[in-house]
Amino acid sequence: MKVFAYSYRKFDEAPYFEKYCAQLGIELGYTELDPTMETAHLAQGYEYISILLTRVDAQLVEEFARMGVKMISNRLIGVDHIDVKRAKELGIRISNAPYGANCVADFTLMLMLMSIRHMKQMMRRGEMNDFTLPGIQGMEMANLTVGVLGTGKIGRAVIRNLSGFGCRILAYDLYQSEEAKKYAQYADLDTIFRTSDIVTLHMPLTDENYHIIDREALEKMKDGVVIVNTARGPLIDTEALLDALESGKVGAAGLDVVENEVGLYHNDWKNTVIHNRYIPLLRGFNNVVLTSHKAYYTDQSVEDMVRNSLLGCYYAEHNQENPFEI
Ligand code: NAD
Ligand code: COI
């Protein structure tokens, strides 16, 4: 069988593509380019394509369908960048590539700790030999209440990590998890917004939760609340967040994701103007740690992403049950 990989990264993915293509008997075609209307033709003759976090809209899905593509297999977890509805209408199957939750969960804890200990300011001052104390007094996790929104694989790993700090943990999800209940208490959104010192997001982006943290939600929150987002940018109304940062309502934020980031992050734009004003605005705040969608990025996750994306194609080709199919 043949698979075509877009956005192929020689510097870290190549050894895993080599290893798993050999194991699964896959003939690989690839390009370092992203899938677009201009590059779609490169996958001509391939029924399976593997992609990263790049926009695959209805027009591109239709082009792939016209070319005879049977499956779009993600090398990641989220699928909000793909027009899944149109793909399914056209008979294209969608698969994702789950990987261990520790990478994002650990990163989330790092963003929480950096936020409550004013790490960005501390480092900025330190670079100029300013070793003063005013303005950077931190808080201790054990004294705080953390609201975890989404208790799937990553949310539960965050809760496990948090359990070691002795903080109070509140949780919210459409479905309750027995594992999460070991350390966290489920509550409604309103209670979580009103009582949490830190609110952290761990749900996929869907039509239902777009801007789940909006102006109204922020108004309900405690003064000085810390917002952490390692899930998807559009879960937060960024305009409302910027206002809340300016007013001091939000005391700090740790954001690995931001609205309208697709196509920007993981690329070098230093010689051009980026078409996302939220990034420079947020980066300008002393109390915002902004990372460029790197929470997932570890040695373990990259191997899992490549393997599971290829496995999704392999299962489909061999009529085997595919646990990664959406
Ligand atoms: P998961 O499917 O295991 O868990 C998601 C949870 O969210 C589920 O329990 C689900 O019931 C809940 N949920 C869905 N919609 C909801 C809603 N409207 N209200 C409340 N709960 C809702 O997924 P996961 O592996 O934990 O990943 C979560 C998300 O994290 C992914 O979808 C992806 O967007 C994001 N992610 C980010 C990175 C990164 O590098 N920053 C890496 C991996 C995943
Ligand atoms: C995901 O797996 O959903 C991610 O967000 C990571 C991706 C950008 C590689």
CB distance 273 to 285 below 8 Å: no
Instruction: Give the pairing of strands 145-149 and 168-172.
Output: parallel
Ligand whose nearest atom lies closest to the CA of 296 = 1
pLDDT tens digits, one per residue of 251-276: 999 999 999 999 999 999 999 999 99
Longest dimension (CA), the chain: 64
Nearest-atom index, ligand 2, CA of 266: 8
**Cα 148 to ligand 1 centroid, rounded to whole Å:** 11
Among residues 285, 296, 209, the alpha carbon closest in space to that of 244 is found at 285
Collapsed DSSP state (helix, strand, coil) of residue 63: helix
How far is the C-alpha of 307 from the C-alpha of 50, rounded, in Å?
A: 11
Q: Which of 81, 118, 156, 232 is catalytic?
A: 232
Can you say how many angstroms the Cα of residue 219 is from the centroid of all Cα atoms in its chain?
Answer: 25
Nearest CA to ligand 1 atom 30: 231
Ligand whose nearest atom lies closest to the CA of 265 = 2
* Amino acid letter, 275: H
What is the average pLDDT score of the chain? 97
Q: Which pLDDT band holds residue 183 (cuts at 50, 70, 90)?
A: very high
Is 173 touching ligand 1 by the criterion CB < 6 Å? Answer: yes
**Cα 76 to ligand 1 centroid, rounded to whole Å:** 12
Mutate to test the pocket of ligand 2, among 76, 201, 202 (most ligand atoms within 8 A of CB): 76
Mutate to test the pocket of ligand 2, among 12, 53, 300 (most ligand atoms within 8 A of CB): 53
- pTM of the entire structure? 0.96
* Amino acid letter, 5: A
All residues at 6 or more sequence positions from 200 whose CB lies less than 8 Å from its CB, including other chains:
108, 112, 146, 147, 148, 149, 158, 227, 228, 229, 230
**Cα 53 to ligand 2 centroid, rounded to whole Å:** 7
> What's the half-sphere exposure (Cβ side, CA atoms, 13 Å) at 64?
35
Among residues 214, 271, 211, 219, the alpha carbon closest in space to that of 235 is found at 211
pLDDT at residue 9 in the model: 97
- 81 has catalytic annotation: no
Mutate to test the pocket of ligand 1, among 52, 76, 77 (most ligand atoms within 8 A of CB): 77
pLDDT tens digits, one per residue of 287-312: 999 999 999 999 999 999 999 999 99
CA dihedral in degrees (181, 185, 188, 191; nearest 10)? Answer: -160
* Amino acid letter, 215: R
Nearest CA to ligand 1 atom 18: 209
pLDDT tens digits, one per residue of 8-34: 999 999 999 999 999 999 999 999 999
Q: How far is CA 15 from CA 50, 94, 140, 246, 310, in A?
A: 16, 24, 42, 46, 13
Architecture of the domain made up of 102-290? 3-Layer(aba) Sandwich (3.40)
Nearest CA to ligand 1 atom 1: 152
Domain ranges of the chain: 2-99+299-317, 102-290
DSSP E strands in 124-224: the ranges are 145-149, 168-172, 185-186, 198-201
User: In the CATH scheme, what is the homologous superfamily, with its name and number, of domain 2-99+299-317?
Assistant: NAD(P)-binding Rossmann-like Domain (3.40.50.720)
Same fold, 2-99+299-317 and 102-290: yes
**Cα 266 to ligand 2 centroid, rounded to whole Å:** 11
Q: What is the DSSP string of 64-124?
A: HHHHT--EEEESSS--TTB-HHHHHHTT-EEE-----SHHHHHHHHHHHHHHHTTHHHHHH
All residues at 6 or more sequence positions from 123 whose CB lies less than 8 Å from its CB, including other chains:
none
pLDDT tens digits, one per residue of 41-65: 999 999 999 999 999 999 999 999 9
Q: Which residue has the tokens 């993915």?
A: 13
Angle between helices 102-116 and 153-163 (to 10 degrees): 50
pLDDT at residue 99 in the model: 94
- 118 has catalytic annotation: no
C-alpha gyration radius of the chain: 21
pLDDT at residue 304 in the model: 97
**Cα 203 to ligand 1 centroid, rounded to whole Å:** 3
